Amino acid sequence: MRMLCRVLLAISASAYAGAVANGRALAPLGQSAGAAQSNQKPSLQGQQGQQGQPAQPSPAAVGTVSTPEERQAYQDLVSEATAGLDPDRVISLAQDYEKKYPNSSMLSFVYMFEASAYEGKNDFAKLVDAAEKSLKLNADNLASLMMLASVLPLPQVTRGTDLEKQKKLDEAEADAKHALELIDQDKVPRQPNETDDAYKKRKNAIASEPHASLGMVHLQRATMGLGGLDPEELNKAAQEFKQSVEMTDRPQPEHYYRLGEVYKHQKKVDDAIAAFSKASELAQGTPLQQFADTQIEELKKSQTQAKPAGTH
- 3-class DSSP state for residue 200? helix
Helix, strand or coil for residue 54? strand
- Rounded CA gap, 29 and 47, in Å? 9
Phi-psi region of 31 (alpha: psi -120 to 50; beta: other; left: phi over 0): beta
Domain assignment present for 89? yes
Identify the three-state secondary structure at position 227: coil
- Give me the pLDDT at residue 312, please: 54
Q: Which of 237, 238, 135 is nearest to 178 (CA)?
A: 135
234 in any annotated domain: no
Q: Does residue 114 have a pLDDT over 50?
A: yes
Give yes or no for residue 216 having a pLDDT over 70: yes
What is the count of structural domains for the chain? 1
User: Region 47-62: what's the mean pLDDT?
Assistant: 36
Q: Which residue has the higher pLDDT, 64 or 117?
A: 117
Those residues with Cβ within 8 angstroms of residue 166's Cβ, 6 or more apart along the chain or in another chain: 221, 224
C-alpha to C-alpha distance for 105 and 93, rounded to whole angstroms = 16
Q: Identify the pLDDT of residue 191.
A: 86
Give the model's confidence band at 304: pLDDT under 50 very low, under 70 low, under 90 confident, else very high: confident
- Binned at pLDDT 50, 70 and 90, residue 61 comes out as very low
Q: Which one is predicted more confidently, 25 or 290?
A: 290
Question: Residue 137 carries which side chain, given as an amino acid letter?
Answer: L
When pLDDT is cut at 50, 70 and 90, the band that residue 13 belongs to is low
For position 183, what pLDDT does the model report? 95
**3-state SS, one letter per residue, for 178-220:** HHHHHHHCCCCCCCCCCCHHHHHHHHHHHHHHHHHHHHHHHHH
Please give the pLDDT value at position 51.
36
**Residues 85, 202: Cα–Cα separation, whole Å:** 24
What's the DSSP call for residue 68?
A: H
What angle (nearest 5°) sits at the alpha carbon of residue 84, between those of residues 79 and 88? 95
Q: Which string of b and e fits 297-308 if b means at least 16 CB within 10 Å?
A: eebeeeeeeeee
Distances, alpha carbon 251 to alpha carbons 4, 46, 118, 197, 260, in Å: 10, 29, 24, 18, 14
Asked whether the predicted pLDDT for residue 10 surpasses 80, the reply is no
pLDDT, averaged across the chain:
83
Instruction: Report the C-alpha gap between 1 and 154 in whole angstroms.
Output: 14
Mean pLDDT, rounded, for 105-116: 94
- C-alpha 43/C-alpha 256 separation (Å) is 35
Segment 29-45 mean pLDDT: 35
Q: What is the mean pLDDT of residues 142-169?
A: 93
Q: Which residues contact 226 (CB under 8 A, 6 or more apart)?
A: none
Whether the CB-CB separation of 61 and 28 falls below 8 Å is answered with yes
pLDDT at site 303? 87
Q: Is residue 189 part of a domain?
A: no
Residue 34 lies in a domain: yes
pLDDT tops 70 at residue 11: no
Read off the pLDDT of each residue in 305-312 and give the average, rounded to a whole number.
65
pLDDT on residue 5: 55
The tens digit of pLDDT for each residue in 156-184 reads 998 889 999 999 999 999 999 999 999 99
Angle between helices 3-21 and 107-120 in degrees, nearest 10: 150
Tell me if the pTM is above 0.85: no
Task: Say if 31 falls within a structural domain.
Answer: yes
Residue 305 covered by a domain: no
Give me the CATH number covering residue 116: 1.25.40
Kindly state whether residue 90 falls inside one of the protein's structural domains: yes
CA angle 181, 110, 86 (to 5 degrees): 110
pLDDT band at 4 (very low <50, low <70, confident <90, very high): very low
Which structural domain, as residue segments, surrounds residue 129? 1-38+57-151
Main-chain phi, psi angles of 213, to 5 degrees: -65, -40
Residue 231 lies in a domain: no
